[in-house]
Amino acid sequence: MSWTDERVELLRKLWMDGLSASQIAAQLANGITRNAVIGKVHRLGLSGRVKSAAPSSAPRPRPAAPRPQRMATPRLATPIVRGATALALQPAQFIAAAPRLVDDVVIPISERVTIMELREGMCRWPLGDPSTPDFRYCGGRSDIAATYCAAHARMAYQPAQDRRRDRERERRQAQQIG
């Protein structure tokens, strides 16, 4: 398989016409795979392409990527602002939101354990920076089958219904602000 000038030009044309990598590979044939097409497209720097009109009138929902939980960040006090007045917000309108992770778990230093000290029935919640010598795990009591103690399990696992509700709330707030 080799990329001749003719094949590269045909690839560019088909890509700009909106064909998928699989469809282009089928047209080029002779050992050109879908992955080879994708790699060549990236090496050529082909980005934007003409999209064919979607037959459906409703927009397709995009699957949401899981987001890591974050601690509190300054947020707006949810004023509803529209138009150019969004630039008129005063610093006093910013407030620190309460942390999403409600429980502040205090682990006595005597319970914290290294990876070599971890045993069944111990919480494996990481504490600190793994690249430092004082990195430890919670070490609190947990069920044999559980990874974390009860307090850390509440932080680590959030019911799907709560995640959906939080995503919806964030989406509505973004629409109101934007």
Q: In whole numbers, what is the pLDDT of the chain averaged over residues?
A: 74
Reported as a single tens digit per residue, the pLDDT across 74-83 is 554 555 555 5
pLDDT confidence tier of residue 59, bands split at 50, 70 and 90:
low
Q: For residue 97, is pLDDT > 60?
A: no
Q: Using an 8 Å Cβ cutoff, are 124 and 143 in contact? A: no
Give the integer Cα–Cα distance in Å for 69 and 115.
Answer: 24
Give the integer Cα–Cα distance in Å for 38 and 44.
Answer: 10
Q: For residue 85, is pLDDT > 70?
A: no
Helix, strand counts (H, E) of the chain:
5, 4
Domain ranges of the chain: 5-44
**What pLDDT was estimated at residue 5?**
87
**What pLDDT was estimated at residue 96?**
47
Reported as a single tens digit per residue, the pLDDT across 121-164 is 888 889 888 888 888 998 888 888 888 888 888 888 777 777 77
Q: Using an 8 Å Cβ cutoff, are 128 and 154 in contact? A: no
* Global confidence as pTM: 0.34
In the chain, what percentage of residues exceed pLDDT 90?
Answer: 1
